[in-house]
Amino acid sequence: MGRNLHSRVRSTVPGRSGRRHTIAVAGVGALVILGTAAGGIGAASSDVASPVSSGRATVVALTKPDGTGPPATVGRAPASTTTTVPVATTTTTAPGTRGTTGTTVPSTTTTTTTSVPPVHGGSADGVSAPSTTTTTAAPTTTVPVTPRATRPRTTSTTQAPVPARSTIADNCSTDVSAALDAYLDALPDGAVFTSPPSACYLVNEGVKITHPLGIVGGRFQDDSNTVAAPVPGKPAPSLHPVILIKQASDVTIEGVDLVGANDKGGYHAALVGQTGIDVRSSSNVTIADVTTLDTYGDGLTLSNAAGAGKDDDITVDGLTITRAGRQGITPDFVSGATFSHVDIVSEADSAWDFESDLPQMGTGNITITDSTWNGRINVIEPLTGPLAFDHDSSSGSFFLDDSKEPQLVTVTDSTMLLPANDFGDPTAGIVEHGGTLTFSHDVLGREYSKKAPTGPAWYVNNYGHLTFAHTSVTAPLGSSSGGAVVTISH
């Protein structure tokens, strides 16, 4: 299977050195700018950024002391260099060095003298606050990340025999779901089933794994595109995941292609059960060098079985998702997962959807590194641990609603292209309702547009804290309200 990760185009991020000077604004919404000669926030086409509205204050971000402007607007990579997965064949991203380190947010000590002018033209009444002098020491914060393995892995010495073609057809000529399920279930714990080269298994009812097992290679194809008629008193019928891992541990899925029947793409509510891989209440699961194509549901879902607990210790190293019919990846109920070398090429809804649909029960201790995606990051239920993005490239908006017992969310050494024009409600590329979101040494550009960007980069409220440290942002910038704070550190 081909590996395409090394052709990924990376954007340069700003440097990390420079002197500090401070300009601070406080009010119902507050904005703090900590400047240096190393780079910072500003408009791509001007030496002075657009004014930043912060509820009861307006501040103009400064250019760098040497008079140079911020980086140019980041656009989409040319078609000749964009990593894609063709329809006829599927390719797999290449795994790289596994394991990550914690992300550290630099500590800062600032002394600010503030005089707050009234806002003109905003929805809030202009209010002048007295000058205040404050000294703030921001502690160094290290974001913990989940180790790649938290318990000993099962070491298998059992290579499963290849089933006879007369019992399990490997040319996608007939549905072998039941026969393949029975074969896999009969294998001993720790066995590894290695598919013959070019094998194709038609699994319209999906494949289920419930004990320690490895599957290496092969194409698993689900041609289902209709569901059975509903039966009174029973759950609504749904399509099955192509591979379901349920209440199992020490499972490896490696080098497989998972293909659904949604070749026209788009969202079909009744068919979203056809996930590429659905992991439910399982642990020590490794997914490596896997592709999903044309599924009616998500490319990958991490959730829980009825009445059971979260997934934990999940490692994804090499996953390409193309034309998912719902989300790209849904980590809705998991504690401890590392994603690396993930490429979410296309999906009908969000690229990443952190949404459990269970009040106060979400996901945490997640690291996403060396990955690319096109689409929204959607964090709905409160996180139960930190969420870290590191060395990623993406295009789309960022929505964070983590207002109760907020966890630290960080984006480090990454490039993110926000929507160029008005988007969402409220209108902004980054919307934060509470919580702590920190961008460090990033480039926040705009998606390609024939016109200059018109949509604001951010909106923060509900006591949220948004920080840009050594990060460039393409104007128009943004606003904050409701006790929120925006900090800009150059």
Band (158; pLDDT cuts 50, 70, 90)? confident
Residues paired with residue 400 on neighbouring β-strands, in sequence order: 379, 432
Once rounded to an integer, what is the mean pLDDT over residues 333-351? Answer: 97
CB 274 within 8 A of CB 20: no
> In this structure, are 392 and 450 located in the same domain?
yes
Report yes or no on 217 lying in a domain: yes
CA distances (Å), origin 139, targets 61, 104, 303: 24, 11, 35
Q: How far apart (Å, rounded) are the C-alpha atoms in residues 257 and 270?
A: 24
Nearest to 27 by CA among 132, 136, 138, 135: 132
Residues 420-437 pLDDT 10s: 998 778 889 999 999 999
CA distances (Å), origin 108, targets 13, 23, 33, 104, 130: 20, 14, 12, 12, 25
Output the pLDDT for position 229. 81
CB 173 within 8 A of CB 203: no
Q: How far apart (Å, rounded) are the C-alpha atoms in residues 379 and 363?
A: 9
> In this structure, are 121 and 206 located in the same domain?
no
Percent of the residues in the chain that have a pLDDT greater than 90, as a whole number: 56
Structural tokens at position 282: 């399982």
Report yes or no on 195 lying in a domain: yes
- Give me the domain span that covers residue 333: 171-465
Report yes or no on 318 lying in a domain: yes
Report yes or no on 473 lying in a domain: no
Once rounded to an integer, what is the mean pLDDT over residues 29-56? Answer: 45
> In this structure, are 390 and 253 located in the same domain?
yes
Instruction: Output the average pLDDT for the chain.
Output: 75
DSSP state of 347: B
> What's the number of domains the chain is made of?
2
b/e burial code for range 365-396 (CB count within 10 A of at least 16 → b): bbbbbbbbbbbbbbbbbbbbbbbbbbbbbbbb
DSSP labels, 16-66: S----EEEEE-SSBEEEEEE-TT-----TT-SSPPEEE-BS-EEEPPPPTT
> In this structure, are 333 and 270 located in the same domain?
yes
> In this structure, are 127 and 193 located in the same domain?
no
What are the residues whose beta carbons fall under 8 Å from the beta carbon of 307, sequence distance 6 or more? none
Q: Which of 110-119, 247-256, 450-459 has the lowest mean pLDDT?
A: 110-119
Report yes or no on 95 lying in a domain: no
E strands, 117-156, in order: 129-138, 141-143
Nearest to 461 by CA among 53, 168, 15: 53
Report yes or no on 156 lying in a domain: no
Report yes or no on 162 lying in a domain: no
> In this structure, are 62 and 192 located in the same domain?
no
> In this structure, are 193 and 120 located in the same domain?
no
Report yes or no on 85 lying in a domain: no
> In this structure, are 135 and 175 located in the same domain?
no
Domain of 296, CATH number, reads 2.160.20.10
> In this structure, are 112 and 225 located in the same domain?
no
pTM for the model stands at 0.73
CA distances (Å), origin 183, targets 67, 180, 213, 239: 69, 5, 12, 22
